[in-house]
Amino acid sequence: MKKSYFFNFLIVFLITSCTGSIRTDNVDFTQGFTDGNSKVWMVNKTISPDGAVSMRQTLEQEVIIFYQSGKCLLTDLQKLATGEGKHGKVTFNHKSHYVTLSLPRETREFEFEFKNENELILYPLEGSDYTNAMELIPFPELTER
């Protein structure tokens, strides 16, 4: 009789010790957006709420630069060299996979999903000033001619 109580206690003890002290860490996605300093993402395509897909000409493509400092720049390829565009602040809710771009006169709020290290999808949240989903890709390596 004492042995069965001991084995029951031992089994319960082993099960609770295996699951009772699991440490979970929050994931910080800042590195994925910035590569530790700054990263230029090109808007490969946008998808409107009605499902229409839009792709711009190469020089008109929008780019978003995410800086490790928490700042961002939204511009296009033509204005990139001069630094013109919408300068703003980027904030993350890593737990919910949300990113907010606070730009002059608009706030863009998205849920983000990394498909892989070369594809980032931003889905607009309800109440966001920007309603299109965006597929972002890293600025491509230019080849010699």
Looking at residue 24, its pLDDT comes to 61
Report domain extents, the chain: 30-138
Query: What average pLDDT score do residues 80-92 get?
Result: 93
Name the nearest CA neighbour of 92 among 137, 26, 46, 44. 26
Looking at residue 6, its pLDDT comes to 62
Residues 85/101, Cβ–Cβ less than 8 Å: no
Per-residue pLDDT tens digits for 116-129: 889 999 999 999 99
For the structural domain made of 30-138, what CATH number should be given? 2.40.128.540
Per-residue pLDDT tens digits for 5-49: 666 665 665 565 555 556 666 777 888 899 889 999 999 999 999
Per-residue pLDDT tens digits for 61-81: 899 999 999 999 999 988 988
b/e 43-56 (16+ beta carbons within 10 angstroms → b)? bbebbeeeeeeeee
Full-model pTM: 0.77
Bridge partners (DSSP) of residue 38 are: 67
Query: What average pLDDT score do residues 79-99 get?
Result: 93
